[in-house]
């Protein structure tokens, strides 16, 4: 029986291995992690991450050929194929701080593999890593090899949170990079055989190692660039009276461009886009490609601009002050159908409003109160470390309360800010919400989910990103 071990039981390791186990009953899959709480949660009925369809998949194979364990060394030593899916945060200190990937967790995983292995291994990079990481890992492994042969493969993951299970079952492509040597090609084939259990062969692409590593960074940079492009347009739409949804629709009809990923919003978030672009920028700079680095940097700058612009709209519309005013925050996760808050734009928007002394009542159907307080007190980039290594702030933010539902969050509020596109926000009883709010009552829709006309008829003053401005907002100072 082929044995797979995956180091890192997070958003990638957990769902990816569950789908492999389900589709390959003849393979034993063990997911290991240094976090005892995470592994206990995987072994309970309350999985550590929320992802539609995940529960059902895990239920079918847990205990059959899918296992979760903290006994890392035992399972690594027994495995034929080892996936490494640990955090690769942005460095906060030292050389490349604020840009380069911090490979501390990767390196410690590689050293541990070298220490405990007694048989040949295929080591698969699942985490997103800088180009040429495989070479560094190879050096660590071969310098400690005791005659054991290692083949390193790059197999970046393209799943999107919120649709991870669907993406894993029907991937647009599976990418496998490896050495173009006889042993390298054999290792590529072994991994191909795993995916071939359910992925059509023409969707499994093989490349050299560096192309696979770079393709993942490039894909995320292109995706984020589309969002920043449409968000840049949204600012121009507001200034001119065009409607960004109409512009996106017209642009997306061009088959060379396509309709996906063209929704204007308060900005992109998630654990990957910013981190991977910063990483790309750093690699460009290290290779003397300043122009290329600056080009990609701009994608992040526009994203930051979009979040600032949103906060400025809120404050300037409300007589230039939100001090002491209650603002209902609808949604905190970085997108719908996930409880993940890593780099969510809600953090920057909430911090911006708190900076102007607002009182916030935050509601999200999947994010815990603890997580929200943690996010609002943590410094930038600290979030992307294993949870037990994250600095904990002793107290939460006083001006923040957590609400059980949207109605509680909006009660007596001066304004609502919609920051995640949860479906339930489309069908709220906005008449009831309006009746329970202070007047004038504002809605700032950062995800374009509400029916603007309907809300204006009820009496709200509505701001919706990239849409023709409410007459109220037109008379307010321009935002920058
Ligand atoms: P995560 O933070 O959810 O999971 C990483 C896990 O690795 C944590 O549970 C941590 O405790 C564990 N870990 C760290 N060092 C370890 C060690 N030495 N031994 C054992 N366990 C260790 O991170 P996530 O989101 O799963 O991301 C993992 C990688 O996949 C990152 O490189 C990320 O960029 C990449 N990725 C993430 C995607 C996403 O949507 N979240 C999509 C595609 C790639």
Say how many Å lie between the CA of residue 368 and the centre of ligand 1. Answer: 20
In the reported structure, the alpha carbon of residue 125 is separated from the centroid of ligand 1 by a whole-number distance in angstroms of 11
- 72 pocket-lining for ligand 1 (C-beta < 6 Å): yes
Residue partners of 25: CB distance under 8 A and separation at least 6: 61, 64, 65
Q: Is 127 in the pocket of ligand 1 (CB under 6 A)?
A: yes
Helices and strands (DSSP H and E) totals, the chain = 18, 14
Ligand 1 mean position, distance from CA 210 (Å): 21
- Nearest-angstrom CA–CA distance, 231 and 239: 13
Kindly report, residue by residue over 172-196, the tens digit of the pLDDT: 999 999 999 999 999 999 999 999 9
Q: pLDDT (tens digit, 9 = 90+) per residue, 221-231?
A: 999 999 999 99
In the annotated binding site for NAD(+), the residues are 8-13, 33, 38, 86-90, 127-128, 161, 272-275, 342
Question: Which residue bears the tokens 């050096």?
Answer: 139
Query: What backbone phi and psi angles, to 5 degrees, belong to 137?
Result: -65, -40
Pocket test for ligand 1, best of 386, 387, 389 (most atoms within 8 A of CB): 386
* Cα 376 from Cα 436, distance rounded (Å): 27
| Residue 151 token pair | 């083949």
The reply to whether omega before 440 is within 30° of 0 (cis) is yes
On whether the CB atoms of residues 83 and 124 are closer than 8 A, the answer is: yes
Atom of ligand 1 nearest to the CA of 160: 40
Q: How many residues does the chain have?
A: 480
CB 403 within 8 A of CB 361: yes
Token digits for 187? Answer: 């290792």
Dist. CA 172–CA 158, nearest whole Å: 9
CB 227 within 8 A of CB 37: no
Answer positive or negative: Cα dihedral of 228, 232, 376, 344.
Answer: negative
With a 6 Å cutoff on the Cβ, whether 340 touches ligand 1 is no
Chain centroid to Cα 245, Å, comes to: 24
Q: What distance in Å separates the CA atoms of residue 275 and residue 85, rounded to the nearest whole number? A: 16
- The pTM of this model reads 0.93
- Give, to the nearest 10 degrees, the angle between helix 244-252 and helix 209-240: 140
Q: Which candidate, 374, 468, 462, places its Cα nearest to that of 417?
A: 462
CA 161 to CA 336: how far, in whole Å?
9
Annotate 364-420 with DSSP letters as a single string: -SS--HHHHHHHHHSPTTGGGS-GGGSPPPSS--TTEEE-SSHHHHHTT-SEEEE-S
Active site residues: 272
Nearest residue to 407 via CA among 427, 426, 430, 423: 430
Q: Is 61 in the pocket of ligand 1 (CB under 6 A)?
A: no
Distance, first Cα to last Cα, the chain = 61
* Residue with CA closest to ligand 1 atom 21: 33
Which strands sit side by side in the sheet containing 204-208, from one edge to the other? 66-69, 27-32, 2-7, 81-84, 121-125, 150-154, 174-178, 204-208
**pLDDT string in tens for the chain (480-residue length):** 899 999 999 999 999 999 999 999 999 999 999 999 999 999 999 999 999 999 999 999 999 999 999 999 999 999 999 999 998 888 888 888 888 888 888 899 999 999 999 999 999 999 888 888 888 888 888 887 788 999 999 999 999 999 999 999 999 999 999 999 999 999 999 999 999 999 999 999 999 999 999 999 999 999 999 999 999 999 999 999 999 999 999 999 999 999 999 999 999 999 999 999 999 999 999 999 999 999 999 999 999 999 999 999 999 999 999 999 999 999 999 999 999 999 999 999 999 999 999 999 999 999 999 999 999 998 766 666 666 566 555 566 889 999 999 999 999 999 999 999 999 999 999 999 999 999 999 999 999 999 999 999 999 999 999 999 988 887 776 555
């Amino acid at each position: 029986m082929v044995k797979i071990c995956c180091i890192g039981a997070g958003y990638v390791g957990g769902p990816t291995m569950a789908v492999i186990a389900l589709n390959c009953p003849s393979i034993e899959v063990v997911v290991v992690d240094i976090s005892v709480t995470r592994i206990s949660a995987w072994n309970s009925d309350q999985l550590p991450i929320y992802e539609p369809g995940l529960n059902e998949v895990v239920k079918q194979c847990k205990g059959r050929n899918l296992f979760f364990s903290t006994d890392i060394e035992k399972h690594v030593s027994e495995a034929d194929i080892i996936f490494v899916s640990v955090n690769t945060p942005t460095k906060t200190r030292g050389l490349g701080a604020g840009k380069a990937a911090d490979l501390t967790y990767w390196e410690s995983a590689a050293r541990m593999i070298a220490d405990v292995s007694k048989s040949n291994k295929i080591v698969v990079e699942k985490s997103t890593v800088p180009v040429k990481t495989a070479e560094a890992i190879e050096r660590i492994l071969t310098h400690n090899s005791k005659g054991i042969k290692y083949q390193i493969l790059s197999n970046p993951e393209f799943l999107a949170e919120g649709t991870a299970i669907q993406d894993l079952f029907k991937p647009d492509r599976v990418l496998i990079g490896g050495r173009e040597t006889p042993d390298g090609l054999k290792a590529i084939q072994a991994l191909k055989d795993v995916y071939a259990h359910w992925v059509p062969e023409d969707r499994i692409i093989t490349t050299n190692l560096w192309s696979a590593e770079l393709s993942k960074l490039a894909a995320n940079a292109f995706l984020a660039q589309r969002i920043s492009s449409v968000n840049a347009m949204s600012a121009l739409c507001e200034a001119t009276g065009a409607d960004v949804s109409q512009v996106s629709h017209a642009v997306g009809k061009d088959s060379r461009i396509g309709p996906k990923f063209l929704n204007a919003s308060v900005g992109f978030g998630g654990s990957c886009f910013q981190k991977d672009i910063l990483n790309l920028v750093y690699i460009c700079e290290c290779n003397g490609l300043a122009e290329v680095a600056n080009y990609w940097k701009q994608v992040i700058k526009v994203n930051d601009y979009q979040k600032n612009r949103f906060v400025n709209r809120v404050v300037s519309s409300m007589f230039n002050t939100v001090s002491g005013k209650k603002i209902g925050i609808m949604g905190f996760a970085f997108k719908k159908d996930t409880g993940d808050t890593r780099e969510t734009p809600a953090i920057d928007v909430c911090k911006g409003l708190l900076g102007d002394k607002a009182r916030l009542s935050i509601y999200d159907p999947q994010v815990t109160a603890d997580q929200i307080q943690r996010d609002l007190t943590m410094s930038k980039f600290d979030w992307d470390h294993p949870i037990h290594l994250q600095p904990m702030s002793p107290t939460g933010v006083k001006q923040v309360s957590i609400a059980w539902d949207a109605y509680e969050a909006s009660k007596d509020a001066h304004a609502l800010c919609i920051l995640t596109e949860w479906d339930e926000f489309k069908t709220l009883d906005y008449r009831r919400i309006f009746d329970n709010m202070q007047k004038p009552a504002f809605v700032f829709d950062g995800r374009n989910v509400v029916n603007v006309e309907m809300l204006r008829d009820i009496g709200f003053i509505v701001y919706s990103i990239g849409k023709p401005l409410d007459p109220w907002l037109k008379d307010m100072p321009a935002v920058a």
